[in-house]
């Protein structure tokens, strides 16, 4: 299946959990996406490099299972501010350490510049479609009418 839809996928910098990453990559490819899979232990700088090499990417998707996503993404605000990662950033997985989960964990990720936080990787294709539709709607310029 050929596609013109590209995503960049990887696992947060301190996280070496590879199985979910490969399953997500496989599912996205099956759904017709070209997946640039950076694998595990991926720092923000590698996502920036991949985006520079694939500026057509619709999104960067970052997984975390060890719960250290917030710490691993400490360079994200600078990359976003400098325009080095100018596409939506989606984060999902186990986003905090320990069994107690707090909505503040998600709020902190949004404050770093994450656009979407997901709890279920099966939501990724639908979220990518929604983000694409929003971008297309934002790109529509109203026609000027002659007076």
Residue among 67, 53, 64, 65 nearest 89 (CA): 64
CA dist 138 and 7 (Å) reads 20
Residue among 45, 25, 52 nearest 37 (CA): 25
| CB-facing half-sphere around the CA of 116: CA atoms within 13 A | 22
Sheet containing strand 57-64, strands side by side: 34-37, 6-11, 57-64, 89-93, 116-118
Residues identified as active-site: 15, 17
CA dist 76 and 73 (Å) reads 5
């Amino acid at each position: 299946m050929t596609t013109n839809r590209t995503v960049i996928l990887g696992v947060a910098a301190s996280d070496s959990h590879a199985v979910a990453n490969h399953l997500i990559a496989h599912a996205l490819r099956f759904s017709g996406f070209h997946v640039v899979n950076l694998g595990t232990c991926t720092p923000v700088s590698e996502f920036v490099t991949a985006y520079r090499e694939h500026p057509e990417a619709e999104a960067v998707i970052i997984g975390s299972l060890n719960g250290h996503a917030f710490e691993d993404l400490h360079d994200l605000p600078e990359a976003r501010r400098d325009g080095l990662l100018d596409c939506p950033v989606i984060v999902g997985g186990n986003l905090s350490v320990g069994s107690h989960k707090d909505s503040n964990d998600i709020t902190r990720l949004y404050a770093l510049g994450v656009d979407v936080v997901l709890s279920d990787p099966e939501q990724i294709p639908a979220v990518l479609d929604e983000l694409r539709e929003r971008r297309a709607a934002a790109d529509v310029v109203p026609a000027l009418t002659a007076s």
